[in-house]
Amino acid sequence: MEHCFGRYYFYSSYEPPKNDKCISSTKLTIDEHIESTLAGATVDIILSDCRFHRSGKGVWYKIAGTGSTLVLSIRDNNEAFVGVSLSVYMGVESCDNLQCVSTIDIASYSIVGESSTSWESEEGVLYHIYVTENHSGSLATSDHRLEMFTLKLYELIVPDNDSCTDAINITTLDGGVIQATTENSTSDFSDGNPCVDETYESLAPRGVWYRMRGNGTFLRATICSEGTIDTRISVYSGDCNALECVANGTYVRGSCDAVTWQAEIDATYYLFIFSTDTKLDLFNLTMMEFISPSNMNCAGANAPMFPNNQVIHGSTIASIYDGEPECLSEGWKSPGLWYVVLGTGDTIRAETCSNITNFDTEISLYRGICGVSLECLGGNDDSCNDVTSAIQWKSMPGVLYYLKIHGHGPKSVGDFGLTFSSLLTPMNDNCLGATEISTGMSIAGSTLGATVDDNIPVCALDSHLFPGIWYKVQGNGKAITVSTCSSGTETSTSIAVYTGSCDSLLCLTGGGYDYGCLEDKLAATATFYATNEMDYYILVLSEDGFGGDIELHTQELNSVVENDFCQTAAEIVVDGNDTTGSLDIATAGGFYPNATCEYSYDGSGLWYKVIGNGEAVRASICSSSSSLSFDLSVSVFRGSSCESLNCITVGSAVDSSDCVDSRWRSTAGETYYMLVQGIGDSSELGKFSLSIESIRAPIVVPDN
């Protein structure tokens, strides 16, 4: 047999296999494995609605239905993974009027090269199976390629507890392990699962069932799968014909899920362990009972303790919500445990940063009288890492402080390790104690023992959540850069810069992570214009919540362009004439968080100012770079000084135009500030022209 493909010829001496046509299908038996090939097969044209049916060459098999679920798997044995398809039809021996039942496809790019399909077979009904190439007519599927495959057929044996009515009874609550699997399980919720949340409600979860009788205590069921984390657990009450959701599992860690509920005496509960996707795994199930802890409310808090660095082991598994709102995430209504610590006059640190902690914790800090007048002093979530928390505060000698350790959500419970420690408070822990520095110097400090300043304006990233230390520098009429990028910095930091006074601070700018720092740490850098003889307060924050040594250095910034900052804005007039500028030589030091317009950008910019004439005015800006076009924005502000700006309007142009304008009604004699920026990253730089003109309404001449 000769085949021509372009200028190449391929020769084949293969005869068509016996099962080349549907009417000559090879009979399969249950649990049979067949290794075969498509070599020599021809095209068998049939009408079909199977999605992966091809008009390419193929071979046929048949099986009589058994009344059970049949599973048919196929593996592409070709080293190059040519790709094969498999379709299952229901029909008769004559192959007339075949109806598609199921179909799968193994594409040529498949790495595993194996897949399976299943269907509920009817007893005595004949099913035809067609194995075909999945790239008909191409050079890759001509007879010179031997499409080898392995076919396996078996009955699906479902677990004994596949349905609620066949649930296995659990009698021991001692933490013993029950080993089982969700493999071959089916869905037991034709009308929808009353307990599975909306994340999984459309997935028709497949699983196995257990039941138990309540004894009046708190019960906790934990499952840990040996594969995917997508194995979950839900608890129901009632009977199998009318189940009511009691609780859903809450992801613990790794590949484990757990659920806790208060079981009524003699009530029957059903546990459904299921997979949320096609991965069906082996799992270990443990059941334990718990007695409610005495300190699950404020009144039951332990006797006052001193910070002693000892780890306290606690568990919220058998706790219930006590009605006291959380400090950080009010509304969680999360179960928790209460502790009370005696103030020492120094900084106290409470943390759940322990290997014992196995759920997402939060810490709420209070002062006052339980059940009468508790005052929230602060809270923390994820200060140490993704799930553990820490909080520091300046304590007063002899004062009782209450702490509630709870979860990040109403279902988040588990074990935790709690430690109280006492730290010496830095002298510059608050604004009034700020250490005075000058430009051109470096100074060492430490955020260990520092506390959170939660009554200051938010300036840097979460500046109201993390502990920090204060510095003060006096302006000299030049731009100043402050940075913790130094070999002496051993902790993750951010920087906030304020003006005003300690009792009335105003955010000037914030310094986030300085990714250009070569010290291989999360250092921070901030740049601002320092007006001559004005005081500036610098807050260095410990972003990791732990604290550590830092080194802060300051230096003057010699700007290449004069109007890099608001304070040195270039003055222009309302005359319609063009003023040229270039963002190529601008810095990012002109950004003022308190002056942010809705669409202004944290990027390089130049500042201008204009005196209002009492008319409507328009500021127009156009890109004038000869080599490229870039996107621009112009933000307009008013204010008595650069430290107290308020946004009026902003205009921006992206892609569609090289020009943009901003319009506003000016007040005669009032000063307006304009910030011209490139939109996007540092590549959005170039030359531009700026003009300001009055907008006068047209004169309407009435008809005679």
Pair of tokens at residue 654: 């992206």
Backbone angles phi, psi at 426, to 5 degrees: -60, 150
Q: How many CB atoms lie within 10 A of CB 150?
A: 15
What was the pLDDT predicted at 193? Answer: 66
d(CA 219, CA 213): 11
Under the banding of pLDDT at 50, 70 and 90, the label for residue 8 is: very low
Q: How many separate helices (H) and strands (E) can be counted in the chain?
A: 0, 47
Does residue 12 have a pLDDT over 60? no
**Residue environment code for 451-464, b if the CB has 16+ CB neighbours within 10 A, otherwise e:** bbbeebbebbbebb
Under the banding of pLDDT at 50, 70 and 90, the label for residue 590 is: low
What was the pLDDT predicted at 237? Answer: 94
Q: What is the average pLDDT value for the chain, to the nearest integer? A: 81
The model's pLDDT over 663-688, given as tens digits with 9 standing for 90+, comes to 899 999 999 999 888 775 545 577 88
What was the pLDDT predicted at 139? Answer: 34
What was the pLDDT predicted at 42? Answer: 84
Under the banding of pLDDT at 50, 70 and 90, the label for residue 625 is: low
What was the pLDDT predicted at 189? Answer: 67
Pair of tokens at residue 65: 């239905």
Give bridge partners of residue 661 from the DSSP assignment: 620
Does residue 107 have a pLDDT over 60? no
Under the banding of pLDDT at 50, 70 and 90, the label for residue 74 is: confident
Q: How many CB atoms lie within 10 A of CB 682?
A: 10
Q: Which domains does the chain have, with CATH numbers?
A: 2-155 (2.60.120.380), 164-290 (2.60.120.380), 298-423 (2.60.120.510), 431-557 (2.60.120.380), 562-694 (2.60.120.380)
Average pLDDT over residues 319-334: 81
Please, are residues 236 and 246 in contact by the beta-carbon 8 Å criterion? yes
Question: 395 versus 546: which is more confidently predicted?
Answer: 395
Percent of the chain whose pLDDT exceeds 90: 28
Percent of the chain whose pLDDT exceeds 70: 79
d(CA 406, CA 335): 6
The model's pLDDT over 439-493, given as tens digits with 9 standing for 90+, comes to 999 999 999 888 888 788 888 656 566 789 999 999 988 889 999 988 888 888 8
Question: 434 versus 156: which is more confidently predicted?
Answer: 434
Q: Enumerate the H helices of 585-678 as residue ranges.
A: none
What was the pLDDT predicted at 378? Answer: 85
What was the pLDDT predicted at 657? Answer: 59
Does residue 11 have a pLDDT over 50? no
What was the pLDDT predicted at 81? Answer: 45
Interacting residues of 159 by C-beta distance below 8 A, sequence separation 6+: 180, 181, 182, 183, 184, 185, 208
pTM over 0.75: no
What was the pLDDT predicted at 133? Answer: 77
H or E element that contains 583? none
Please, are residues 622 and 578 in contact by the beta-carbon 8 Å criterion? no
Under the banding of pLDDT at 50, 70 and 90, the label for residue 181 is: confident
What was the pLDDT predicted at 366? Answer: 95
In this structure, of 5-9, 38-42, 514-518, 589-593, the range with the lowest mean pLDDT score is 5-9
